[in-house]
Structure 1
Amino acid sequence: MLCTLARARKWDLVESLWTEMNAKGVAPVNSTYGTLIDAYSKRGIKEEALAWLQTMQSQGIEPDEVTIGIVVLLYKRAGEFQKAQEFFRRWIRGAPFRLGVDDKLVSHTNVCLSSHTYATLIDTYGKGGQFRIACETFTRIIRQGRSLNTVTLNTMIHLYGNCGRLRQACLLFQKMGEFRCVPDTWTYNILISLNIKNNKVKLAAKYFARMKEAFIKADVGSYQTLLYAYSTRKMVREAEELIQEMGKRDLEINEFTQSALTRMYVESGMLEQSSLWFKRFHLAGNINSDCYSANIDAYGERGYTLAAEKVFICCKEKKKLTVLEFNVTIKAYGIGKCYDKACQLFDSMKKFGVVADKCSYSSLIHILASADKPHIAKSYLKKMQEAGLVSDCVPYCVVISSFTKLGQFEMAEELYKEMLRYAVQPDVIIYGVFINAFADAGSVKEAINYVNEIRKAGLPGNPTIQVDSIIR
């Protein structure tokens, strides 16, 4: 009954039933506390779960293996791996659980735990960075002659792979038959993911094929992982074959993989396919803000400014515009040398209720400065300063460098002085810009002044600064 009420999240009724138990003299046992701890833990109510554990300990009830596993899992879910390990070791040592009482220790060092408990422990040790202890625990299972199950082996395969021991992970997979364990979908998904992580896509594909040969049904995760790998590596034929399979099984492609596929087509020069692919998901309403920005960026980085602009308009139609879409579209305009459009888009952000961030300003300033438009860049730098988004001298350096490149030293120095008035500290790079610019112009006195400024500031030298040539 407690379990049923907890699953329904009827916490008041849980406590009411607990009170009724006490009133009627029904003593709770291990499984009672285990049920309560597990129920609260699974629903993310960690403090309440730990309160039930404390109540159990205060009653002097020694947890059995099942309850131990539940508590270890509780700590693991909360990311408190050290506490999970300490709790388990305390039980193994036979340390008393009744608070304030020095009972005789009852050691559990020779106890044979269940496969489920071992799997929980191995996973806890692994996630807690205790790889050696996890391996020792696994060895103990084998030494005790305990029957292994697929869950435990999956955990070890995953652990080996994440610790850079892919060969051992694959060997353990091959030995599953010796342990009388049958690989499941999760086994193959782990191996597919690990091989892709190690850039062994062909081997990952072989495990995928092997899974189907063994009549083990690949789930959407199996397909998504492999499809994303194909997309990011521009393996068009393989990706399209997988898409067809997914279509036959009515498996959905998530929006992140969709963005990767659009980028694959763009980078492969298949613009028509990329457009059709994007429209399919856009019209279905299956794209979020992050993925719109990823699609814009895919086109923008390759110089397909008009296509990037169309995706931005699609996002606007769906009313999903955020600062991300503005930033990547401004970047796309910069790459496409559409400087006026970049400024117009930036200026329109307020109209859409979007506030420009540091990236918005930095990107536009860099675009304009690189295009030899420091006067326009300077106006946006001033707005950035007024918005309180200037945290270092980098944006100033970009504009100053643009002024010096055009030989407008007076404007560059004026901006430098403005920077100092705002208490923004110069670095060796900004000094280097002045020194090299004045040196190239033959203005030795001015260049030396900035060399002296570097020394006064106690900044380290920069190999790109022409100090030696100036002194000679």
Structure 2
Amino acid sequence: MNSVIHSGTSVVRKASHFLSVSRKFFCDGSSIVGDETDNGIEEPLKVTWESSEMDCGFAEERKESSGLEETSVRRRFLEGAKLGASQVLSTLQQDCPGFNTKSALDELNVPISGLLVREVLVGILKTLSFDNKTRCAKLAYKFFVWCGGQDCFRHTANCYHLLMKIFAECGEYKAMCRLIDEMIKDGYPTTARTFNLLICTCGEAGLAREVVEQFIKSKAFNYRPFKHSYNAILHSLLGVKQYKLIDWVYEQMLEDGFSPDVLTYNIVMFASFRLGKTDRLYRLLDEMVKDGFAPDFYTYNILLHHLATGNKPLAALNLLNHMGEVGVEPSVIHYTTLIDGLSRAGKLEACKYFMDEMVKVGCLPDVVCYTVMIAGYISGGELEKAEEMFKEMTEKGQLPNVFTYNSMIRGFCMAGKFKEASSLLKEMESRGCNPNFVVYSTLVNNLRNAGKLLEAHEVVKDMVERGHYVHLISKLKKYRRS
């Protein structure tokens, strides 16, 4: 299989007899795959349960009120919960030695509901910064325990998850583990969402494998919406780039007698690609086909990514043609993946060729595709072509995003055009595209490197006045807050 694709003459030939059947474009509700890059090109696997992190019982309240004829009742409930949350947050802020927080909360006499808990915890999460994270974690837990002690109220699993999220943001790993123990003790099953929150934190602490082993052995692990627990674990490990651990979990899965499905294969294949294990990638592809699974939308995306970064445009072109022949029409995602990989290999002419080809077949470039092209031109030192592409995308109705602006600002700085770079920063703000810290850092550090200290200071001053990333200012090169 490897030699077939590398020769550029025929792609995925061994799989062709499986591809005449109808295609399955989505596997277990997910969408592929990868890591966050400077261009925002690769999207992580996303599943429906990820959007539930902020529900925290609101669904129950919504169902209760939906049958009421008077919409004013629902409105009063929502307004009451928000008002109560505001009072609770104000009280929590008074917490200090000698202040009885529990008594103060009792005196508020606010009705406890899932929505109130959500509003308070989200409010704490929004105020969290590097300087106050320990205090925020303590206040969130105090409030959580107080709510749990009230009559006629029981936390939902989503309430636990939101508190876990606060602990994760605060780096409170031990507190997260204790909370999971409490969750299981109170009869709540740990889910894929629980595991995902925990692995995102402990992965950075070097404890990922211990957590994985704990969840594999746990009888309380409920892995909806995945087929089995191993897919839930693999999916989460992919999101935190634990590629080596993915290999280990996959081997454990086989040893335990579980059979992989399309989602499993896609994740393990992508991990192999990231680890540079090309032979294993194609060996897995062969195994996938032998098991009766046809390569799907995401499998092809992985293969295109591999071919593009490996500087094999001819093989990639053959693969695109093959996809059309077997009924999997290449989308803007496939073309963008291909263009991104080729731009990283410095093949800008090939990038432009494939972008023109996608337009010819009626597949219109989106903001991500344009951004990838612009970033490629910037990296290749072709600022004028990047400017032309930037102009074209706005004329075609594609609004630049923060990654697009950052690439252009970086390009102007590289060319010494600091006035244009500063002007572009103001433009993106006026268009409602809020600069992230990378944008500010790019401009400030380049200005300082060029000796334009006053201009750099003005950018930082503007950032502070707007309240943007104040807690990260110390990370700006040679900058100290006065």
TM-score (norm 1): 0.50
Which structure has the higher relative contact order (CA within 8 Å, separation 6+)? 2
Q: Name which one, 1 or 2, has greater alpha-carbon Rg.
A: 1
TM-score (norm 2): 0.49
